[in-house]
Amino acid sequence: MLRRLFYLRLVIAVAVVLVVMLQSSPALAASTDPYVVRYLHVTEPIDLDLNGQGETRSFSPQDLSSGKQLFETNCLSCHVGGATLPDPLVSLSLKKLKDANPPRDNINNLVAYFRQPMTYDGSEESYWCRQVPESWLSKEEVESLAAFILTAAQKAPGWGSENF
C-alpha cells in the first residue's frame, strides 16, 4: 500500500515537472521572432518613449514580435525595410519620424497617426497610407505595431533608406 502510494506520488511529480517545462522558456522563446533578437537586440522588456514628455511604456520581446507580424501582413507592401515606396521621402527612418509635425518618434503619436494618417506637415488628412481603425486593431495591437516601428527605426540596420 505504501509502495503504491509512493509510485503514485512519483507519477504526479513527473507530470507536474513536465507541465512546468512545457509552459516555461522554450514556449516563450518560440513566440519571439528571431529578427527581434538578431536585429533589434531585444531579449528582455524595453522601455519606449510614450508621449515625448518623459513617460515610457514597457514592451516585451513578444510584443515586438507581434508588432512585426502585424507590420509584415499589413504594411510591408508599401514600407519594405522601413522605406515608403509610393513616397520615398516620407520613410519610416527615425529622423523622418522625428521631424514630422507633430513628431512621430513616440508610441502615442504613432498610434494617433495610424488611427488617422496625416500629411507630413500635419496640415491635413492623408489618404496614401493605410488607416487602422479601432474596429480592426485594438489599442494593444497598434501599440505593439508602433513599438516595432520605433525600435526598428532606432536599431535595424538599413531601416528607412530613401535610396533603393
Q: Which stretch binds ligand HEC (CB under 6 A): 2-10, 18-26, 54-62, 125-133?
A: 125-133
Quick one: which H or E segment has residue 67?
helix 61-74
Neighbours of 151 (CB within 10 A): 23
Pick from 75, 94, 111, 156 the residue near ligand HEC by CB under 6 A. Answer: 75
User: What's the Rg (C-alpha) of the chain?
Assistant: 21
Binding of residue 83 to ligand HEC (CB under 6 A): no
Judged by CB under 6 A, the stretch of 29-37, 41-49, 57-65, 78-86 that binds ligand HEC is 78-86
Q: Which of 114, 147, 152, 156 binds ligand HEC (CB under 6 A)?
A: 114
Q: What is the DSSP string of 106-158?
A: SHHHHHHHHHS-B-TTSSSB-SSSPP--TTTS-HHHHHHHHHHHHHHHHHSTT
Q: Considering only CA atoms, which of 145, 36, 154 is closest in space to residue 96?
A: 154
* Distance separating alpha carbons of residues 142 and 115, to the nearest angstrom: 9
Among 9, 38, 128, 164, binds ligand HEC (CB under 6 A): 128
Q: Which of 42, 48, 94, 97 binds ligand HEC (CB under 6 A)?
A: 97
Q: What are the residues binding ligand HEC (CB under 6 A)? A: 74-75, 77-79, 84, 86-87, 90-92, 96-97, 100, 104, 110, 113-114, 119-120, 126, 128-130, 132, 145
